[in-house]
Amino acid sequence: MFKQMSVTILTGMIVTSNVTSIEASDKEKGLLDPERIVNIAHRGASGYAPEHTMLAYEIGHKKLKADYIEIDLQMTKDGHLIAMHDETVDRTTNGKGAVIDKNLAEIKQLDAGSWFNDLYPSNAKMSYRGLKVPTLNEIFERYGKKANYYIETKSPNVYPGMEEKLLKTLAQYGLSSGKIKPGQVMIQSFSQESLQKIKYLDPNLSLVQLLEAKEIKNISKNQLYTIKSYAVGVGPSFKGLTPISSQMIREEHLLLHPYTVNEESDMHRMLDYGVTGVFTNFADRFNEVRQQHTSR
Ligand code: G3P
Ligand code: CA
């Protein structure tokens, strides 16, 4: 039933990506290989479907063939990790209020799809109405080891215990560092403290330090050394990234995954800078651009 619905939704909406032998050979490289360029479906296929819904993940993973699905985490009052970008439910559901003030049962009453139809009428679908906010457990339940996950601890200061809960959930689904291929689970955060806590809890998980545009603009070698002590890469805003800062990062053998790169011209520019992947709402578009770039 779900599969049928996805196919109908996708018809005529997404440019089908040609998976070529170039991409195939790229996929033979490990996810942490600095020669590999990864495609991260930001909040799922959020350019085409309501962000952070199972449908957005399904499209990003199956149809657009992104290397990763990206998941922002918030935590409910009763301690469930849910996929949501904002600390409140206001923007992406028909509800109001802070996630931390709601139990999962209340979150599950909300419609997480209709806002997308109102905001993007040209991409609106009846089937988006009434989509639910997924829990991290539900996402792992569906994909298990078949997907690669790029998970962000959002507002960790608001949610004490979030990191422990995340590690426990990973373990529950056999996704702890020893049980997965390297890089299959990436943990990202703007909070250095949160990443260092995760490093302490599971030293072998692959971590990525997110940076705002103003932070990456003036990044120093010393800051990169510090990041390198706990992370395998940086995820800066592409708006602050320059050829020089990109080179500095690559010289430190850190992965470089800028967010959120949606325009073709920016994708080309990022690839020219030598990034090792991008977060994008349009993973199909990046597949095309990446392919053109690799065939040059
Ligand atoms: O995680 C990379 C990027 O998603 C960070 O920005 O606000 O979209 O979570 P945001
Ligand atoms: Ca994010």
- Mean pLDDT score, 119-132: 97
The structural domains of the chain, with segments of one domain joined by +, span 39-294
Q: Which of 42, 61, 80, 257 is catalytic?
A: 42
- Long-range (24+ apart) CB contacts under 8 A made by 267-274 are 268/293, 270/238, 270/241, 271/37, 272/243, 273/241, 273/242, 273/243, 273/246, 274/246, 274/247, 274/250
| pLDDT of 12 | 40
> How many angstroms separate the CA atoms of 284 and 62, rounded?
11
What does the pLDDT read at residue 3?
Answer: 34
pLDDT surpasses 50 at 18: no
Atom number in ligand 1 closest to CA 190 = 5
Torsion on CA atoms 242, 85, 149, 167, rounded to nearest 10:
120
Look at residue 11 in the predicted model and tell me its pLDDT: 36
Residue 1 alpha carbon to ligand 1 centre in Å: 31
CA nearest neighbour of 71 among 45, 48, 49, 94? 45
User: Helices (DSSP H) in the chain: which residue ranges?
Assistant: 2-10, 21-28, 54-58, 104-108, 114-119, 136-143, 162-172, 192-201, 213-217, 221-228, 243-251, 264-273, 283-295
Predicted confidence at residue 23, as pLDDT, reads 54
pLDDT of residue 24: 55
268 is catalytic: no
68 within ligand 1 shell (Cβ under 6 A): no
Neighbours of 262 (CB within 10 A): 18
- Out of 80, 85, 253, 257, which one is annotated catalytic? 85
What are the helix (H) ranges across 113-190?
A: 114-119, 136-143, 162-172
d(CA 236, CA 257): 7
Task: For the domain covering 39-294, report its CATH number.
Answer: 3.20.20.190
Q: 269 and 287 in contact (C-beta within 8 Å)?
A: no
> Ligand 2: distance of its center to the CA of 68 in Å?
12
293 catalytic, yes or no? no
Of all protein residues, whose CA lies closest to atom 7 belonging to ligand 1? 85
Contact (CB, 8 A) for 198 and 163 = yes
Torsion, Cα 236 240 244 246, to 10 degrees, reads 20
Contacts of 27 (CB under 8 A, 6+ apart): 67
197 lines ligand 1 (CB under 6 A): no
pLDDT digit string, tens, across residues 226-255: 999 999 999 999 999 999 999 999 999 999
What is the number of the ligand closest to the CA of 235?
1
CB of 72 closer than 8 Å to CB of 84: yes
Kindly report which listed range (9-13, 76-80, 90-94, 152-156) carries the lowest average pLDDT score: 9-13
Q: Quick one: pLDDT at residue 85?
A: 98
Is any ligand 1 atom within 6 A of the Cβ of residue 259? yes
Please answer whether residues 82 and 59 qualify as being in contact, where contact means their C-beta atoms are separated by less than 8 angstroms: no
Lowest pLDDT segment from 12-16, 86-90, 219-223, 246-250: 12-16
42 Cβ inside 6 Å of ligand 1: yes
pLDDT class for 150, splitting at 50, 70, 90? very high
How far is the first Cα of the chain from the last one, in angstroms, to the nearest whole number? 42
Report the predicted TM-score, pTM, of the whole model to 2 decimal places. 0.92
Kindly state if the Cβ of 152 falls inside 6 Å of ligand 1: yes
Residue-level pLDDT at 296: 81
Contact 189, 205 (CB under 8 A): no
pLDDT of residue 295: 86
pLDDT digits (tens, 9 = 90+) for 27-85: 789 999 999 999 999 999 999 999 999 999 999 999 999 999 999 999 999 999 999 99
Largest CA distance in the chain: 53
User: Whole-number mean pLDDT of the chain?
Assistant: 92
pLDDT value at position 16?
A: 44
| Ligand 1 atom at minimal distance to the Cα of residue 150 | 1
Contacts of residue 178, Cβ cutoff 8 Å, sequence gap at least 6: 204
- Residues 247-285: tens digit of each pLDDT: 999 999 999 999 999 999 999 999 999 999 999 999 999
Q: What percent of the chain has pLDDT over 90?
A: 89
78 C-alpha to center of ligand 1: Å?
25
Q: What share of the chain is helix, strand, coil (3-state, %, to 5)?
A: 45, 15, 40
| C-alpha of 17 from chain center | 20
Q: Whose CA is nearest to atom 6 of ligand 1?
A: 259
